[in-house]
């Protein structure tokens, strides 16, 4: 069993819909959670970063962390075709700066105009 | 955000040759950088942690003699794939901790390696 599980998709939604992404994990030591967006043949781009449980909102993006369930989510409101990409969750026990990240497998999202 | 660059962006080489990939932090210093490998439609797998002024730390199963890492300065880490073989063909990505935002990392654009 992988430490971090993420549905590979593809997840296809019409433009303007809400995109809902999630990851589950098994290591209760994880405290720092990140979401990255990766376009084809490009490096990952940081979207959201959260520490411990709770919600965080940034523009059209909302990240949620439920440590009791070992479950994290990312919601994208008013989705645009430019949001079509692979979304990767990542997490770390001690903070990501000097420590390795454990990634989910990524979910491919397609927003249709 | 902080910028991390990689060079080259794409390289094709013959089997048995060595290939060097550079990772630079453009506007900040990084005592630690990370090297990842990503196969098509798969996630990033950490290969090693590059430490300025000391030896790199390799993940289990990664051959340190095949994947040589040198963190020459506070802004440059290099990954050399020695005696490359077709199975080494992959997307190699580096990352560095973000300055002032200690809990995140910024990634380079990646280098696509094709070994013929």
- What integer best gives the mean pLDDT of chain A? 92
In angstroms, rounded to a whole number, what is the distance separating the alpha carbons of residues A32 and A92? 5
Residues B74-79 have a mean pLDDT of 95
Give me the DSSP letters along A73-92.
EEEESS--GGG-EEEEEEEE
Predicted local confidence at residue B46, as pLDDT: 92
CA B2 from chain center: how many Å?
Answer: 17
Predicted local confidence at residue A39, as pLDDT: 94
User: Which of B46, B101, B110 has the CB atom closest to A43's CB atom?
Assistant: B110
Q: Which of residues 71-90 of A touch B (CB under 8 A)?
A: 88
Predicted local confidence at residue B101, as pLDDT: 61
Share of chain B above pLDDT 70, in %: 95
Residues B63-79 have a mean pLDDT of 94
Dihedral sign, Cα of residue B99, residue B102, residue B104, residue B105: positive
Q: What is the pLDDT of residues B5-55, one digit of tens each?
A: 999 999 999 999 999 999 999 988 888 999 999 988 888 999 999 998 889
Determine the straight-line distance between the first and last CA of chain B, rounded to whole angstroms.
Answer: 36
Q: Does B14 touch chain A (CB under 8 A)?
A: no
B5 contacts B75 by C-beta, under 8 angstroms: no
In angstroms, rounded to a whole number, what is the distance separating the alpha carbons of residues B52 and A83? 36
Q: What are phi and psi of A2, to 5 degrees?
A: -75, 155
Top residue of A43, A47, A106 to mutate, by most chain B CBs within 10 Å, is A43
Q: What is the pLDDT of residues A47-91, one digit of tens each?
A: 998 888 889 999 999 999 999 999 999 999 999 999 999 999 999
Q: What are phi and psi of A106, to 5 degrees?
A: 95, 145
A48 or A1, higher pLDDT? A48
Predicted local confidence at residue B58, as pLDDT: 95
- Say if residue A5's pLDDT is above 80: yes
Confidence of residue A97 (pLDDT cuts 50, 70, 90): low
In angstroms, rounded to a whole number, what is the distance separating the alpha carbons of residues B30 and B99? 8
Top residue of A30, A44, A90 to mutate, by most chain B CBs within 10 Å, is A44
> What distances in angstroms separate CA B103 from CA A10, A62, B1, B109, one per listed residue?
29, 18, 14, 20
Nearest chain B Cα distance for residue A68, angstroms: 22
- Say if residue A13's pLDDT is above 60: yes
Predicted local confidence at residue A1, as pLDDT: 72
> What distances in angstroms separate CA B50 from CA B46, B84, B92, B100, one per listed residue?
11, 20, 14, 20
The token duo for B112 is 């696509």
Confidence of residue B109 (pLDDT cuts 50, 70, 90): very high
Closest residue of chain A to B98, computed from CA coordinates = A97
The token duo for B108 is 């380079």
Strands (DSSP E) found in chain B: 4-7, 10-13, 19-25, 32-38, 44-51, 57-58, 67-73, 76-81, 90-97, 105-107, 111-115
CB distance A96–B4 less than 8 Å? no
Nearest to B71 by CA among B94, B87, B93: B94
Confidence of residue B3 (pLDDT cuts 50, 70, 90): confident
């Amino acid at each position: 069993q992988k430490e971090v599980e993420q549905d590979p998709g593809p997840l296809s939604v019409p433009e303007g819909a809400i995109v809902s992404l999630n990851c589950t994990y098994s290591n209760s030591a994880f405290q720092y959670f990140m979401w990255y967006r990766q376009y084809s043949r490009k490096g990952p781009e940081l979207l959201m970063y959260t520490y411990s449980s709770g919600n965080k909102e940034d523009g059209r993006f909302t990240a949620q962390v439920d440590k009791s369930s070992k479950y994290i989510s990312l919601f994208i409101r008013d989705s645009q075709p430019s949001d079509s990409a692979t979304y990767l969750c990542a997490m770390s026990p001690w903070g990501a700066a000097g420590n390795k990240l454990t990634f989910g497998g990524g979910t491919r999202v397609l927003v249709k105009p | 955000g902080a910028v991390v660059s990689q060079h080259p962006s794409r390289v094709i080489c013959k089997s048995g040759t060595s290939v060097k990939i550079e990772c630079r932090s453009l506007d900040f210093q990084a005592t630690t950088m990370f090297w990842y490998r990503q196969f098509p439609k798969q996630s990033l797998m950490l290969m090693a942690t590059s430490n300025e002024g000391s030896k790199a730390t390799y993940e289990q199963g990664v051959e340190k003699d095949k994947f040589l890492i040198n963190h020459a300065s506070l802004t440059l880490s290099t990954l050399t794939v020695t005696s490359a073989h077709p199975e080494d063909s992959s997307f190699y990505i580096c990352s560095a901790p973000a300055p002032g935002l200690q809990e995140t990392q910024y990634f380079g654009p990646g280098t696509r390696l094709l070994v013929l």
